[in-house]
Amino acid sequence: GIEYIDSYVFNKVEDIRFNSTVGRYVGYTEHGVKNAEAWNSDAGILGQEQATLERFCKTNAAIDYSNILDKT
């Protein structure tokens, strides 16, 4: 399977992260926790992250995997 992680970093500190395996945002700072709560309650925002996983990650992974197989 593919795991998609979208991290938001501020001043070199990870603030919040979306993890496709978990399916939601996790906050690591006070600000990140507040955003995670808000973003996790917004189906549109969660849907955008899932769409990125489907549209970008899975499509490119299939192409990359095919290219690797062609060279072995």
pLDDT tens digits, 16-65: 999 999 999 999 999 999 999 999 999 999 999 888 877 776 676 666 65
Amino acid sitting at position 2 = I
Q: Which class would CATH give 5-69?
A: alpha beta
Amino acid sitting at position 54 = E
Ordered by start, the domain boundaries in the chain are: 5-69
Q: Can you read off the two tokens belonging to residue 22?
A: 């978990």
Q: Can you read off the two tokens belonging to residue 11?
A: 């001043």
Nearest to 27 by CA among 41, 11, 8: 8
Least confident segment among 7-16, 25-34, 62-71: 62-71
